[in-house]
Structure 1
């Protein structure tokens, strides 16, 4: 009887671990304010991103603990301003998007 309890607990822990791994690798999505003219692929903070038209999708395990706005800023610094951003099942609010895009504009101005 005790062996069954231990095996059941192990199985439950394995399911939880695989669920957490799946949540980390759930795709991120961004909608660009200006579409790209040709498909682009890049890796940003360990996540492989592909942009085509105004749609970008990122896939890869996220090992960092960045907040969504900080994560968005990293993406926007490479691909440009976004109209929407979703990661780990959460969408950025309008205020968060403004903060994300503002940082990208400042970075682009500094480069020029």
Structure 2
């Protein structure tokens, strides 16, 4: 099947625009995880763990995950703590848990 010349040129222009955006966008904006956590006890080796549809990537004391479900942030933190032990720092998007939140997370 051959595309009409005008359609193929439009497709090429769109691919060019997308690739230019991807090349100029800051890496952290493109790949920033929704969740980031610090564990009290490091994992022994790089680990991935799936919890209610969230894929956690953990290495050393750090764990990160993209948002893939509708669970409340506190529930996500509590599940992580239940699996890997106490969480010493937790961020969900732009919300950083304070000491009271962390105590509830680890409770």
The alignment's TM-score, normalised by the length of structure 2, stands at 0.64
List alignment gaps of at least 5 residues for structure 1: 1-24, 103-112
Q: Kindly name which structure, 1 or 2, has the bigger radius of gyration based on alpha carbons.
A: 2
Alignment match, 1:43: 50
Task: Note if contact 2:33-2:64 (Cα within 8 Å) is conserved in structure 1.
Answer: no
Would you say 1:71 and 2:56 are equivalent positions? no
Task: Note if contact 2:45-2:60 (Cα within 8 Å) is conserved in structure 1.
Answer: yes
| Matched positions, count | 76
Aligned to 1:37, the other structure's residue is in SS state coil
**Greater share of residues in helix:** 1
* 1:68-107 pair list within 5 angstroms: 68-102=73-107
Deviating runs (4+, > 3 A) in structure 1?
none
The alignment's TM-score, normalised by the length of structure 1, stands at 0.61
List alignment gaps of at least 5 residues for structure 2: 1-31
Cα RMSD of the aligned pairs, angstroms, is 1.7
